[in-house]
Amino acid sequence: MKRKVCLLLALLTVFSCFLGCMDLLRQQVKLALNPYIADYTGKMTSVYSESEEEGLKLYQKLFDPSNKITIQIHIPKEEIAKLQLDYYAFRAQDKNMKSEIYRKADLTVVIGEDRYEIEEVGIRQKGNLTYYKPFAPDTGIPNLCSYKISFDETFDDPDVYGADVKVWTSDAERKARKSRTFASLEKLDIKWNSCYDNTFIREIYATQFFTQSGLLVQKISLAQTSVNGDNYGVYDIYEPVDKRFLEKRLPEEALGGDLYKLLWSEYATNGVHTRNRIGATYQLNNSYGIQDNQRAIQYNFNIKTNKKSTDHADLIRFLRVVNQDSITKEELESVLDPEEFARFMAALYFCGDPDDIRQNYNNQYLYFRKDNGKAVFIVYDNDQTLGICYNAQDDCSVFDPYSNESLGRKGPQQNPLIRKTITHDALPELAYVRDLYADALKSLAESKLLADDKTFLAMYENAKALYEDDAEPYMTFGNQKHPFFFSLEDRSENKDVIHMSFARFRARILETYRAATP
């Protein structure tokens, strides 16, 4: 009986592989006849490498706004077909599942007049609400997709790549790939303008609020992006928040701690699917663990470093302290730097993103320093910012900086740390944090970033001069809802303002801030 079961499983495996090959063949035939997507039949023969010093210099050039950046993705139709099948294979198991399988492409990056060719990088789609298949199966029209590029992918896991597994000619060659970086980065995130920000620079400008406040924040730049020679428009490129990000910004003694990505989740810490979806509210019912997109499992706190060794002790201690009914000054300062936290919340306030950790319990990294175990707060995916809103209910420009509400969730503030420190309901013993927050708000309100429009306009005009000719892609994509163009005006739809101009947002949020300030 056991032998029969094993034989049956083997036959099913063979049949499944056969069906997978047939699906791939069908997608390849479709793509071969697809007039909307160009093919790439070349192959880079050069081997890209850089020293640590060269990488750091290139990193500065890549994120220098005075340099025009061009990202050229060269990917064979065969690999596009695999990305399409990866999308369907994972979505068929669960609507929230996302493939983390990298497919092969060559990459050209042009920085100013300098051209860099990186052979055989890994590429996959990324995103949450903007996670799309590469093209529509019925029409063949491509979709705008956001991508993660891996410079160190080895493609040699047989459980992932099967017959496509890469066989390295030597251990030295594989080791070189595993340690390869570009501009000192192991990965690079490339995102299309899914918020239809006509200025193209709001999220980049918002990073300056954090930089000026002495906080950790990703570097972001614009890049004209093409796939197989076809212009896909102006994308944002992002430095990932990872170990290399931390190494560039923290002293050596602070490195080696636990880094978490905060998300909405339906899973408990023990991996049980609760079907009760909750945000990263910092409450004791928040879950933590290792995110696995390929099984549609994500936690409120997803560990990104020390995955095999952490006991989550710093996170557990942090959550226990901020959830106490009464918190002393000493207890609070044992888990965070109150001045740093106040500056972080002030920067978030003036960004006005309805999808952040305060308004929607989302889009944040939390890092615990190795030397003292204190939390460091890092924003990410801050794209609905500085006037980007989809309806009047999400308008952060009229939100009281000391409110005990959550604008994005339309209810009382659930984050105990925020509620007990900077709102009207702050604990008396922690009122000093609200004073620090007020000082940080005042500093930003009076800074050149908000005092007038000049700094924003200068950045806008620079971006427009570099990228205006590339803003409109070569075709209207399947998932494209609006045209792309540079403008400083409000963006309206059906007589409703969906995005307000930066000038109007700045005036409104400063008016709201001043009305709430004694």
CA–CA dist 327, 442 (Å, integer): 26
- Which pLDDT band holds residue 389 (cuts at 50, 70, 90)? confident
Predicted confidence band of residue 292 (pLDDT cuts 50, 70, 90)? confident
Each residue of 74-113: b (16+ CB within 10 Å) or e?
Answer: bbbbbbbbbbbbbbebbbeeeeebbbbbbbbbbbebbbee
Please give the pLDDT value at position 36.
85
pLDDT above 50: residue 4: no
Bigger pLDDT: 37 or 503? Answer: 503
- Checking if the pLDDT of 255 tops 60, the result is yes
- From residue 467, give the alpha-carbon distance in Å to each of 64, 231, 484: 14, 12, 11
Q: Is the pLDDT at 3 greater than 90, yes or no? A: no
For residues 145 and 136, the answer to whether their CB atoms sit within 8 Å is no
pLDDT, one tens digit per residue, over 107-116 is 999 999 999 9
The region of weakest confidence among 85-94, 186-195, 196-205 is 85-94
For residue 371, is pLDDT > 90? yes
Share of the chain above pLDDT 70, in %: 92
Q: What is the pLDDT of residues 418-473, one digit of tens each?
A: 999 999 999 999 999 999 999 999 999 999 999 999 999 999 999 999 999 999 99
Q: Higher-confidence residue: 350 or 5?
A: 350
User: How far apart are the C-alpha atoms of 143 and 85, rounded to whole Å?
Assistant: 15
What mean pLDDT do residues 400-412 have? 93
pLDDT value at 12 more than 80: no
Length of the chain: 518
Average pLDDT of 406-419?
A: 94
Percentage of the chain modeled with pLDDT above 90? 80
Q: Check: CB of residue 345 under 8 Å from CB of residue 418.
A: yes
Arithmetic mean of pLDDT, 81-108? 91
User: 299, 302, 296, 295: which is closest to 285 by C-alpha?
Assistant: 299
How confident is the model over 213-254, as pLDDT tens digits? 999 999 999 999 999 999 999 999 999 999 999 999 999 999
pLDDT at 98: 86
Q: What is the pLDDT of residues 307-357, one digit of tens each?
A: 999 999 999 999 999 999 999 999 999 999 999 999 999 999 999 999 999
341, 303, 335, 332: which is closest to 434 by C-alpha?
A: 341
State the average pLDDT over residues 79-103.
Answer: 90
Q: Which of 20-24, 125-129, 255-259, 452-456 has the lowest mean pLDDT?
A: 20-24
- In this predicted structure, the answer to whether residue 21 has a pLDDT above a threshold of 60 is no
Separation between Cα atoms, residue 227 and residue 229, nearest integer Å: 5
| Pairing of the two strands 69-74 and 220-227 | parallel
Q: What is the tens place of the pLDDT at every residue in 101-140? A: 999 999 999 999 999 999 999 999 998 878 999 999 888 9
User: With 70 as the cut, is the pLDDT of residue 34 above it?
Assistant: yes
Question: Is residue 6's pLDDT more than 70?
Answer: no
Separation in Å, CA 96 to CA 247, 287, 378, 392, 492 = 32, 18, 25, 29, 31
Q: What pLDDT score was predicted for residue 35?
A: 81
Q: What is the mean pLDDT of residues 77-92?
A: 93
Q: Which amino acid is at 415?
A: N
Domain residues of the chain, as ranges? 27-239, 247-445
Q: Are 466 and 222 in contact (CB under 8 A)?
A: yes
Rg (CA), the chain: 24
- State the pLDDT at residue 509: 97
Taking residues 175-190, what's their average pLDDT? Answer: 98
Residues 79, 117, 100, 290, Cα dihedral to 10° = 170
Confidence of residue 7 (pLDDT cuts 50, 70, 90): very low
* Average pLDDT along the chain: 92
pLDDT band at 22 (very low <50, low <70, confident <90, very high): low
